[in-house]
A and B are shown apart, each in its own frame.
Chain A
Amino acid sequence: MYPTPERWLTLDGERWDVTSAGCSAAASCAEVRKTKSQYTSMNERSYMMLSTPAAGLLLLSAWIFPSNALYFHIGETEKKCFIEEIPDETMVIGKYRTQLWDKQTGSFLPATPGLGMHVEIKDPDTKIILSRQYGSDGRFTFTSHTPGEHQICLHSNSTKMALFAGGKLRVHLDIQVGEHTNNYPEIAAKDKLTELQLRVRQLLDQVEQIQKEQNYQRYREERFRMTSESTNQRVLWWSIAQTLILIVTGIWQMKHLKSFFEAKKLV
């Protein structure tokens, strides 16, 4: 009933080229375009799956923190650092969720007020680009302006010190870098893209990330080459210098001892 997507060949933003759909006259092209808009709205309608309020509540509650993320344990004063080596102009989004060990129930509490985490992010020149206190669940974002190793450090900073009392803190962490930070359904909704257009957009983003990484690779290779050349130079000059020092001290020793023995009238 509706034309299948093969008929829409050129993806030029909103305007779909109907050349292969075989429309030569203006009237038939309008018909095809009208069918396209109906087809798009049919696609949109199929997004509704759960009952509206339940879905809304579930989604809102799950939006903030990663529910199935990797987690690890951290002590009270412990600082955990993670390194992200990224090219420049790359966005990084980090989300974390903390749970405190409750001795009475013998399990981890779902959420504890007053518990906070201090997030500190340093750029490759060890300059602090973000240093903020977040609550027990938090989300931090930064974009790199210089390529290199960025360090993301987390340590707990609770307002009520008695909360800890020698217990452990469980931290769920998720760090997404570059192309993974893009939220494709949101982009599709905002720019009104079809599925094929969205897939192409995803491919474009991936290729852009590859390009940035290759650029960064060139910069790193140059640094590596400079370090190797410096080592080469140092080895060369220091070998020559040490040989000279050896020869000079040898000559000095002989001269000095000869004059010493002559003074002592032994030679």
Chain B
Amino acid sequence: MYRSFRVLLQVLWAQLLWGWVLGSELTFELPDNAKQCFYEDIIVGTKCTLEFQVVTGGHYDVDCRLEDPEGNTLYKEMKKQYDSFTFTASKNGTYKFCFSNEFSTFTHKTVYFDFQVGDDPPLFPNENRVTALTQMESACVSIHEALKSVIDYQTHFRLREAQGRSRAEDLNTRVAFWSIGEAIILLVVSISQVVLLRSFFSDRKTTTTRVGS
């Protein structure tokens, strides 16, 4: 009974650690003339990384600003397509970062951001072990880190590909509409040219016949 209770506590402890988000990755839609802010409470001394990328919309650019708890701007860029910013928290408190699409009048944008705070939680709750990691375990740890970077590269590749794909689909629909539009304009212009020309000669009909007779 005690053993199962220990297991339960272990599970709950693990759930707690898992519940402590140490990295948020979100993709959201930013409407035109809108600003979206996100906040996170960070402890002093934590190394954090913010990276963002605009996935679809307009000229694929967005304004980004990162502020510390006292309102000092740590990072500010206008009309950037993608960027990555690393900083170490110098104060305790709520850090705020905002994405702004206020310069755009009618294009809404999809923005992806990844805000990593600190390191990943350890796999086991009792990571305060006295013995060093064995060779196998340290090999596992390095493979884990390498796979994490593979997944990270995959994400960036997916975002780039999504960007390219949305541009290609835009191009496809634009080509279709403009081709149909141009064909119609062509027909309308040529018919109206003929009609207009005919109308010039219809007015002078009476004078021509008078000259003829």
Q: Which residues of B contact A224 (CB under 8 A)?
A: 161, 164-165, 168
Interface of chain A residues 159 through 183 with chain B (CB within 8 A) = 173-175, 179, 183
Identify the closest chain A residue to B4 (Cβ): A189
Identify the closest chain B residue to A188 (Cβ): B124
Q: Are A70 and B21 in contact (CB under 8 A)?
A: yes
Instruction: Say whether chain B's binding surface is mostly helix, strand, loop, or mixed.
Output: helix
Give a binary string over A135-151; 1 marks a CB under 8 Å from any B CB, 0 the rest. Answer: 00000000000000000
Q: Report the bound CA distance from A162 to B144 in whole Å.
A: 50
Q: Report the bound CA distance from A198 to B165 in whole Å.
A: 39
Comparing A109-117, A124-132, A215-223, the segment that makes contact with chain B is A215-223
In the complex where A47-B10, A203-B147, A213-B158 touch, is A264 in contact with B208 (Cβ < 8 A)? yes
- The answer to the question of A231 belonging to the interface, with a C-beta cut-off of 8 Å to chain B, is yes
A-B pair number, CB within 8 angstroms: 212
Q: Which residues of A contact B14 (CB under 8 A)?
A: 183-186
Q: Which residues of B contact A252 (CB under 8 A)?
A: 190
Give a binary string over B63-92; 1 marks a CB under 8 Å from any A CB, 0 the rest. Answer: 000000000000000000000000000000
- The answer to the question of A84 belonging to the interface, with a C-beta cut-off of 8 Å to chain B, is yes
Q: Which residues of A contact B41 (CB under 8 A)?
A: 68
Q: Most chain-A Cβ atoms within 10 A of its Cβ — which of B19, B150, B158? A: B19
Q: How far is the CB of A85 from chain B (nearest CB, A)?
A: 6
Q: Are A69 and B21 in contact (CB under 8 A)?
A: yes
Total number of A residues with any Cβ neighbor in B under 8 Å: 82
In the complex where A62-B16, A72-B39, A183-B15 touch, is A242 in contact with B186 (Cβ < 8 A)? yes
Q: Report the bound CA distance from A221 to B157 in whole Å.
A: 12
Q: Are B16 and A58 in contact (CB under 8 A)?
A: yes
Q: Report the bound CA distance from A188 to B13 in whole Å.
A: 13
Comparing A18-26, A30-38, A48-56, the segment that makes contact with chain B is A48-56
Interface of chain A residues 187 through 228 with chain B (CB within 8 A) = 188-189, 195-196, 198-200, 202-203, 206-207, 209-210, 213-214, 217, 220-221, 223-224, 227-228
Q: Which of A73, A81, A203, A234 contacts B172 (CB 8 A)?
A: A234
Q: Which residues of A contact B164 (CB under 8 A)?
A: 224
Q: How far is the CB of B119 from chain A (nearest CB, A)?
A: 14
In the complex where A227-B165, A241-B183 touch, is A185 in contact with B38 (Cβ < 8 A)? no
Q: Are A231 and B11 in contact (CB under 8 A)?
A: no
In the complex where A47-B10, A183-B14, A241-B183 touch, is A82 in contact with B19 (Cβ < 8 A)? no
Q: Report the bound CA distance from A213 to B157 in whole Å.
A: 11
Q: How far is the CB of A40 from chain B (nearest CB, A)?
A: 12
Total number of B residues with any Cβ neighbor in A under 8 Å: 75
- The answer to the question of B125 belonging to the interface, with a C-beta cut-off of 8 Å to chain A, is yes
Q: Report the bound CA distance from A150 to B184 in whole Å.
A: 39
Q: Are A217 and B143 in contact (CB under 8 A)?
A: no
Q: How far is the CB of A214 from chain B (nearest CB, A)?
A: 8
19 contacts across the A-B interface (CB closer than 8 A): A48-B6, A58-B16, A63-B12, A66-B21, A70-B26, A70-B38, A72-B39, A73-B37, A80-B28, A173-B26, A175-B25, A189-B7, A195-B123, A195-B137, A199-B123, A231-B168, A231-B172, A234-B179, A238-B183
Interface positions of B (Cβ within 8 A of A): 5-7, 9-16, 18-22, 24-29, 36-41, 110, 115, 123-126, 131, 134-137, 140-141, 143-144, 147-148, 150-151, 154, 157-158, 161-162, 164-165, 168-169, 171-172, 175-176, 179, 182-183, 186-187, 190-191, 193-194, 197-198, 201, 205, 208, 212
Q: Which 5 A-B pairs have the closest CB atoms?
A: A185-B14, A59-B12, A238-B179, A199-B140, A249-B190
